[in-house]
Structure 1
Amino acid sequence: EISISRMTIAYTTSLHLINDRDVFKVGETLFIKIVAKDAMARPKSYGEDFFLAKLYSNSPIQACSPGKIIDYGNGTYLAKLFLCCPGKFSVSVKLIHSSEAVQVLRRARDTFLDRRVTICDFYDEKTSRSEWKQCSFSQNDSVNPRDICDFSKRVPNSTFYCARPRTISCNSILHCKRAEYSNSFDVLSRKLFYFLLIQGGLGEKARQQCIHDTPRGEALPRCGPHLPKKTYEGFWFNNTWYSFRCNSRQFPPSLETYTCLQNKTFFVIGDSTGRQYWGFLKNLVEDINTRLPEAMKEWEKKHDSIKINFLFHTFPRNIREPIKVNDFIYAADKIDSITGGPDVVIIFSIWAHYSAEPLETFRSRVWAIRHAIERCLNRFPDTKVIWRTGNMREVNGWYWALENSNWFAYQLLLEAKQILGDLDIFVMDIWDISVCDNRKYLLHPKPNVIKNHMDLIFSYICP
C-alpha cells in the first residue's frame, strides 16, 4: 500500500558533500550523500527513488559530467560525480520520481496491459464493410480463442492479437493505429497518479567548487564491441562529448570523412530517434558532396556510393494515423534479408514506442533481434552493428508519464544491455549524454547532440 504522507519530497531531501574541501583536482570524484525525506522532513527507510545528478559549468567554459547514483535501499543514496575539467562547477541533484511514484509506474507497467490501446481496421473489399477492433500484444486468457485473430509470428518472436470481427475474416486486416488514451485508471487513481508524478516533481540544489587541472589519463580503445566497463560514460566539454569508454573522434564534413563513408551501406532500423540518424547521414553526405574536388564530385554523382536506408519498426507505434499492415516489417525479418559485409552498417534505435508496453513485449522483440544479429554475423562476420540506447525525454502530464516516463525508458535500456551485451556489436549507451541537457530533456535531441552520437558511430566504423 502506498503512503502519500511518506512520499519523498524534493525540497526536504538533504544533500551533503562528503569530501568537502576548497580545491579539487581534475580526475577526482565528488561524493554527495542524499537522504530522502517526506513532507514532514522525516528520513525515508526504503529506496527506489529515481534521482539524477550532474556536475556542470556554464562560464567561462560549458562542461557537464553526469553522476552515478548508488541506492543503499534504506532511503540513503550516494551520488558520485567525476571532476572532468578545471573551473568552477555546480552540483545538481534532481528527483525525477519518488519511490512511491516508481511503485505506481511498475504496477502500471506490469498490471495494465492496455496503457496504449491499438485498434485495427478489418475491411471486406467485396462488401465494402469495415470493422475496427481492439488489439493487444498480450493474450487475454479469459477470452475464447475462437473470438481472437492471432497474428503472432515465430521468427520475430512477436505476439499480436485482435478481437475477431463479427462478419469479416481475420485475413482482411488492413490498417492499424493507436486509439485514445486508455481508461485503465479510474478518477481516484488518476488523481493519485497526478499527485505522485507531478507534485513529486523536480528538485535541484547546487554548490560551487573550484577545480585545478591534472594530466590526462590512459589511452582508450577504439569504439566498438566489448568496451571496458567504466563508472562513467563520459562528459561534455564545449559542446563535444568525450567518452571514457572509447576513443571518440570528431568527423566534420571533410574529404577524410567521405573516404571513410565511401561505398558503405547504412541500414537504420527503429523509431523516430533512429530516423534522426538517417536524416543526419543524408545531410552529411549532401554537405560533403559540395566540398569534393570536381572529379570526385562527378564520380560520386554517377555512382552514389553511400547508401542510406531507414526502416520504421512495426507496432507498437504511437501514431493515430492508420498504417497499412502490409507495410509492416519486423526488425528481425529485415536483418535476415540484409547481405552484410565490412561496408555494411546496421544501426538500431528501438525503445521509445515500447515504454507503454509490458516489459515482456520489448524483451521478446529484442531477443528475436539478438538471434537475427547472430545469424547475420555468422554469415557476414565483418558487418558493423550498433544498438543505440534510449535517452531522457520530456514528460507532460500524468497521462504522458503513464506511457512515457523516463523510468520506463531506463528499464528498457537496462533490459537491452542485459540481452545484447555479450554480442559482437557496439552497444552505444547515450543515456548520460542526455542527462546533461541544460534546459529541457528532449525525445529528439538537438542536431549537435546527434552529431556527437554519430561521431561515436564513425569512431567505430572508420579505422
Structure 2
Amino acid sequence: MERLLPKYFPFFTLLALTGLIFLLWNITSLESWTCQTVSTFYQLQNSIQSVLKTSEMLLPVEFNYSYCIHLGQEPSAEEAKEESYLLRSITWPEPLVLGLPLRQSSDPAQSYYMIQNSGDLLVGGQLVVKVQMQNFIGQPKKHGGDFIVARLHTPELGAGVTGQVHDHRDGKYTVFFPLLWAGVVHVELTMVHSSEAVMVLRRLREEQADRVFFKSLFRSRYLSETTVCNLCLPVKQQPLCNYTDPQTGEPWYCYKPKMLDCDTRINHAKGGYKKHLLTMYESQFFQSGINIKMPIHAAGMDNVIVLPASKEQTKENNLENTPSGYYYQGLWKPLGGVTMRQFNDSSAVTQCLRGKMVYMYGDSTVRQWYEYLVAHVPEFKELNFHSLKNVGPHMAVDSNHNILLRYRCHGPPIRFTTVYAAELHYISNELDALRGGSDTVVLISIWSHFSTFPVHVYIRRLRHIRRAVIRLLNREPATLVLIRTANLQKLDPESSLYNSDWFSQQLDTVLRAMFKGLNVQLVDAWEMTLAHHHPHQLHPPPDIISNMIHFILSHICPVRRKKRQS
C-alpha cells in the first residue's frame, strides 16, 4: 500500500484541486456571498493567470478577439463594411518593436516642444508647434503612437482652444492651433499615455472585455440568489440566462441561478473590477507623476503674442480640422452652426423651454444636465418615483409653462449601483416610443460604460440608436436631437485600465463618424473639457455644464435672423 501512494499522489492532488476550484466556482452564485467575494474570486483567477505570464513581455501580443464577438444580430454586408472602415479609422500607430524596456519608452519630462512661427502672428492665422518625444535615457523616440492632447489658452481672458495633433510616426509630432483672439497665448501639451502604454490598453480592450463584471439578484418568495452577469460569458462554465433584447438583438447574459428560474431576476448592478490585469513589465507604463497625464515642456518660449487681424483679413482659420468652438471670457463660442446665446436667469430658460418635452437618455453625464436644470430653475418640480438618485428614472415638470423633463439611464452595460431589471431600457427602444415633433427635444449621452469592451460592441449599440434616430426624424423631422460626445477625465494607474481617455477618444471618433451627415447636433464635450482650465473630471464642473446647457438652449431657441428688406 505504501508503494502505491507515490504512484497515485499526482492523481489525488489533481482531484483535490479540481474539487476546490469547483467549490469556489459554485459559491459565486449565492446571495450570501457578497460582491467582495465575487471580486476575490476573480482576483484569485487572475493571480493564477498572472503567474503563468512572464514578467517581461518581449514577444508581440496575439489578441484574443473574445467569445462575445459573434453575439447579437449578424450585421448586414453594408454594416460589416462600415464596421471595418470605422475600426480602420481608429487604428493606432504601434512601436516597431514590442516589449521595449521602460528606459526606452516615452518620458514626458525629457520630451519637449518648440514653437515654429513666433513672429507676426495675427488672429485668423494658426500657430505651429513641433514636438520631439524622448525616452528615459534622453534619446529621441524613433516611433509614434503617444497619446498627446493640446490646448492654447490665455488665463487673463478666460480663453482656450484645443489643438490638432499630427503624429509623424517617428517620435515627432506637429500641433496646429487656430488663433482666435488677440493677446498673449500659452501652449499646453500633455502626454496622456506613452505609445507603450497604449499597446497595453489595446490588449486589455480585446483580451479582458469582462474586466468590469456585473451581477443580478434573483428572488422567488423567500429564496434568493445572486449570479455574475455580463455582455458575454463563457458558456462552458455553467448554464446561462439569455436576456437579449428582442427589439434590437442587444445581448446580455447572467449565469443561471442554481435553484431559481431566469424569469425571477430582480435587478442589475455593478459587481466589481477584475484586478491583477497587468504583468510587472506592463505596470511600469502606468505610474502617476511619471507617465500618466504629464506635461511636455517647451524648449524655449511657451507663449507668443497674437495681434488683431487687419480689416482685409478674415478671422477664418485654415485648419483642416477646425475646432468646434473655443472659450472667451469663460463662455463657449461655437465656430459654426448655432449662434450662442446666454440664458442667465431661470425666466429665460423657462421661456425657451415653454411647451417643450425634453427627454434625456444615457449615462450620468447626461443626467448632469437634468440635475443642473432642476437646480437652477425653481419652476421645475420633481415627481417622486422613489427612484435611486443616480439611476432614475427622473421627471420634473413646470405646469405653468407646460414643460416636461425626463431622464432615463441606458441599458446594460451600465455600472450604476443597482437598477431594477424592469428599468433597463435601451435608448433605441425609447426613441421608437416617442411621437416626436417641434415640441420634442432628445438629448443622448452613451460612451463611458463601453470603455472596457471591444469597439465593435459600441458600434453595434450606436447603430441601433442611429436607426431609431432616423426613424424618429423621418416621422417627425422637426424633432431636435443632440448627442453628447465623450470627455476627458482624471486618471491614475488603476482608472487608466478601465476608463482611460484613450478608450474615450476611440469611442468618440466612432460616434462622430456614425452620426455625421444626419440632422443631429453634437455637444462637443471633448473639446469643452480639453479647452477649459478646469482639471479633467468624469463629471465636468458647473462652469462647463452651464456652457453645455446654454449651447443646447441656443439650438432649442435659435437667434432669429432679420429678414432682408426688399
- Distance of 2:278 and 2:553 partners within structure 1: 49
Provide the rounded CA distance (Å) in 1 between the counterparts of 2:459 and 2:257: 29
Q: Secondary structure at the match of 1:277?
A: helix
Tell me if structure 2 keeps the 8 A contact 1:190–1:398. no
The aligned counterpart of 2:247 is 155
Other structure's SS at 2:415 match:
coil
5+ unaligned residues in a row in structure 2: which ranges?
1-97, 382-396, 559-566
* Displacement of 1:439: 4.3
Distance 1:185 1:431 in 2: 28
- After TM superposition, the structure 1 = structure 2 runs for residues 8-407 of structure 1, keeping only pairs within 5 Å, are 8-21=106-119, 23-59=120-156, 61-125=157-221, 128-140=222-234, 143=236, 147-183=239-275, 185=277, 188=280, 191-192=283-284, 194-195=286-287, 199-201=290-292, 202-205=294-297, 207-214=302-309, 230-246=321-337, 247-253=339-345, 257-286=349-378, 303-319=400-416, 321-395=417-491, 397-407=492-502
Identity score, percent: 26
| Letter aligned with residue 274 of structure 2 | S
Equivalent residues of 1:112, 1:184 under 8 A apart:
no
Structure 2 SS opposite 1:205: strand
Q: Using the alignment, how far apart are the partners of 1:31 and 1:153 within structure 2? A: 50
| 1:288 to 1:251, Cα distance in 2 relative to 1, 3 A | farther
Deviations 1:352-376 (A, max 9, x none): 2222233222221111111111111
> 1:262 and 1:454 mapped to 2: Cα distance?
16
Q: 1:156 to 1:192 in 2, by over 3 A?
A: farther
Distance 1:160 1:184 in 2: 25
For the 8 Å contact 2:269–2:418, the answer to whether it is kept is yes
Give the drift of 1:14.
2.3
Bigger radius of gyration: 2
Deviation at 1:244, TM superposition (A): 1.1
**For 1:304 and 1:261, how far apart are their aligned partners in 2?**
8
Q: Which amino acid aligns with 2:143?
A: Y
Worse-superposed segment, 80-89 or 208-217: 208-217
Asked if 2 retains the 8 angstrom alpha-carbon contact of 1:137 and 1:361, the reply is no
Q: CA deviation at 1:116?
A: 0.6
Distance in 1 of aligned mates of 2:421 and 2:359: 21
* Long gaps (5+) in structure 1: 221-227, 290-299
In 2, the alpha carbon distance for the partners of 1:218 and 1:163 equals: 63
CA contact (8 A) 2:112 2:296 kept: no
Structure 1 Cα separation of the partners of residues 546 and 240 of structure 2: 46
1:422 aligned to 490, 493, 517, which one? 517
Structure 1 CA distance, aligned partners of 2:522 and 2:108?
A: 33
Q: Deviations over 1:113-138 (max 9, x none)?
A: 1111111122222xx22222111112
Distance 1:186 1:76 in 2: 28
Q: In structure 2, how many angstroms separate the alpha carbons of the residues matched to 1:132 and 1:190?
A: 34
Q: CA deviation at 1:218?
A: 6.8
Closer, same or farther: CA 359–284 of 1 in aligned 2, 3 Å: same
CA contact (8 A) 2:130 2:175 kept: yes
CA contact (8 A) 1:254 1:288 kept: no
Q: 1:378 to 1:242 in 2, by over 3 A?
A: same
Structure 1 pair 113–301 and aligned structure 2 pair: CA distance change class (3 A): closer
Distance of aligned partners of 1:253 and 1:50 in 2 relative to their CA distance in 1, 3 Å threshold: same
The one-letter code sitting in structure 1 at the alignment partner of 2:303 is Q
Instruction: Tell whether the 8 Å contact from 2:112 to 2:297 is kept in structure 1 after alignment.
Output: no
Asked whether the 8 Å contact 1:253–1:287 carries over to 2, the reply is no
Which sits farther off after the overlay, 399-408 or 228-237?
Answer: 228-237
Number of aligned residues: 437
Q: How far apart in 1 are the matches of 2:274 and 2:537?
A: 24
Distance (Å, rounded) in 1 between the aligned partners of 2:347 and 2:261: 57
Instruction: Give the AA of the match of 2:518.
Output: L
Q: Which residue identity lines up with residue 538 of structure 2 in the other structure?
A: L
Superposition deviation, residue 192 in structure 1: 3.8
